[in-house]
Amino acid sequence: MPLTENEFRPKIVAFCCNWCSYAGADLAGSSRLSYPADVKIIKVPCSCRVNPMFILRAFEKGADGVILCGCHPGDCHYSTGNYYARRRMTLLFSMLDYLGIEKGRTRVEWVSAAEGVKFSQTMNEFVEKIKSLGENVRLGDLRCKN
């Protein structure tokens, strides 16, 4: 998609676990299933590696949305990592909602190594959602916004 002026282009950080979701993103790539360039992926070994600090940090530095992708429950490479991640993120997201941060800015999605289509779809949806929410002003360090 060519860049047009004045169009809001969100900053989106996607944490992907090495075993399923990062591979799912690779499959989306090798299958040429496009999604907006606004999404930047950070590889982590497991969804349970993602500290709420990372998510808040991303928002602080100007991210408009953060998504965490991991193996489907039951399929974690480390057996149980995504279960812990699920509880942590459930509580964190609920807290952010409680603080008045738009719910759609955070998301968890389970994407397997075989789900290139799902990865691409998820990212397309997420970008759309963030675009509809607009710029993140409630959770940012305003100095980071230019």
Partner 1 sequence: MQELVNRAKELLANGTVQRVLGWKAGDMAYNPEPSYFESEADLSEFVYDAFCGANLSKYMIEASKKEGKTLVFLKPCDSYSFNQLLKEHRVDRDKAYIIGVGCKGKLDIEKIKKEGIKGIESISGIGMEDACDTLKIGTLYGDKECSYQDVMLERCHVCKGKDHVVFDETLLESRDTVDSERFHEVEKIEKMSPEEKFQFFQKELSKCIRCNACRNVCPACSCRKCVFDSTKFDSAQKANVDPFQEKMFHIIRAFHVAGRCTDCGECSRVCPQGIRLHLFNRKFIKDINEFYGDYTAGEDINQEAPLTHFEFSDREPNEERG
Partner 2 sequence: MQRIGVFVCHCGSNIAATVDVKKVVETVLSEPGVCHAEDYPYMCSEAGQMKILEAVKEKKLTGIVVCSCSPRMHEATFRKAAERAGLNPYMVEIANIREHCSWIHKDMEEATKKAVILARAAIAKVNLNTPLQAGESRVTKRALVIGGGIAGIQTALDIADAGYEVDIVEKTPSIGGRMSQLDKTFPTLDCSACILTPKMVEAAAHEKINIYTYSEVDKVTGFVGDFTVDIRKKARSVDSAKCTGCGVCQEKCPSKKSLNEFNRGLNTRSAIYTPFAQAIPNVPVIDRDACIKFKTGKCGVCEKVCQAGAIDYNQKDEIITEKYGAIVVATGFDTIKLDNYDEYAYNQSKDVITSLELERIMNAAGPTKGHLERLSDGKAPKEMVFIQCVGSRCSDNRGKSYCSKICCMYTAKHAMLIRDKYPDVNVTVFYIDVRTPGKNFDEFYRRAVEEYGVNYVKGQVGKVAPLPNGKLLVQGSDLLDNKQILKEADMVVLATAIEPEASVRQIATMLTASIDTNNFLTEAHPKLRPVESPTAGVFLSGVCQGPKDIPETVAQAGAAAVKAIGLLAKDKLTTNPCTAKPDELLCNGCSQCANVCPYGAITYEEKEVNDHGIRETRRVAQVNGALCQGCGACTVTCPSGAMDLQGFSNRQIIAEVDAICR
Contacting residues toward partner 2, per CB under 8 A: 1-3, 11, 13, 19-20, 22-23, 25-26, 28-30, 32-35, 37, 40-46, 48-54, 57-58, 61-63, 71, 74-81, 84, 88, 112-115, 120, 144
Residue 126 binding result from partner 1, partner 2, none, given CB thresholds of 5 to 8 Å by partner type:
none
Are 63 and 136 contacting, i.e. CB atoms less than 8 angstroms apart? yes
Residue 46 binding result from partner 1, partner 2, none, given CB thresholds of 5 to 8 Å by partner type:
partner 2
Looking from the CA of 74 toward its CB, the CA atoms found within 13 Å total 0
What gap in Å lies between CA 25 and CA 111, rounded to an integer? 9
List the one residue from 26, 60, 75, 125 that touches partner 1 (CB under 8 A). Answer: 60
Tokens of 109: 């999605």
Q: What is the distance of C-alpha 146 from the center of its chain?
A: 22
**Is the Cβ of residue 35 or residue 126 nearer to partner 2 in the bound state?**
35
